[in-house]
């Protein structure tokens, strides 16, 4: 039986070197790092995506975020250095 930690690690390995994975768990969007630690979890999906972007910008000075599932953007997702929309 796989633990949550093992499952997240497998996701990250399968995500082509993702630094962060954002996935759906019921009504929640959940962002986890390479070690499986939860970065953010909320029903406000835009907020979770912003936390994931901030995390990779701060920790890796840019990086790969893998999205799994559908998200409801309740706020603007800000990517530093981009003045126009970023495609997700």
pLDDT in tens, 30-87: 999 988 899 999 999 999 999 999 898 888 777 888 999 999 988 888 776 654 444 4
Q: Is residue 12 part of a domain?
A: yes
Q: Is residue 83 part of a domain?
A: no
Asked if residue 10 lies in contact with residue 2, where contact means CB atoms within 8 angstroms, the answer is yes
Q: Is residue 31 part of a domain?
A: yes
Give me the number of domains the chain comprises.
Answer: 1
The dihedral over CA atoms of 55, 58, 63, 64, expressed in degrees to the nearest 10, equals 0
Q: Is residue 23 part of a domain?
A: yes
Q: Is residue 76 part of a domain?
A: no
Q: Could you tell me the residue range of the domain that residue 30 belongs to?
A: 4-68
The span from the CA of 26 to the CA of 79, in Å, is: 26
Q: Is residue 50 part of a domain?
A: yes
Asked if residue 64 lies in contact with residue 56, where contact means CB atoms within 8 angstroms, the answer is yes
Structure tokens, 85: 């929309």
More confident site: 15 or 73:
73
């Amino acid at each position: 039986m796989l633990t949550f930690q093992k499952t997240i690690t497998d996701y990250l390995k399968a995500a082509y070197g993702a630094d962060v994975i954002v996935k759906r768990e019921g009504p929640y969007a959940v962002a986890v790092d390479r070690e499986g630690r939860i970065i953010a979890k909320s029903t406000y999906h835009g907020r979770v995506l912003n936390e994931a972007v901030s995390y990779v910008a701060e920790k890796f000075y840019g990086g790969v975020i893998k999205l799994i599932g559908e998200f409801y953007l309740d706020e603007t997702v800000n990517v530093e250095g981009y003045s126009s929309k970023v495609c997700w």
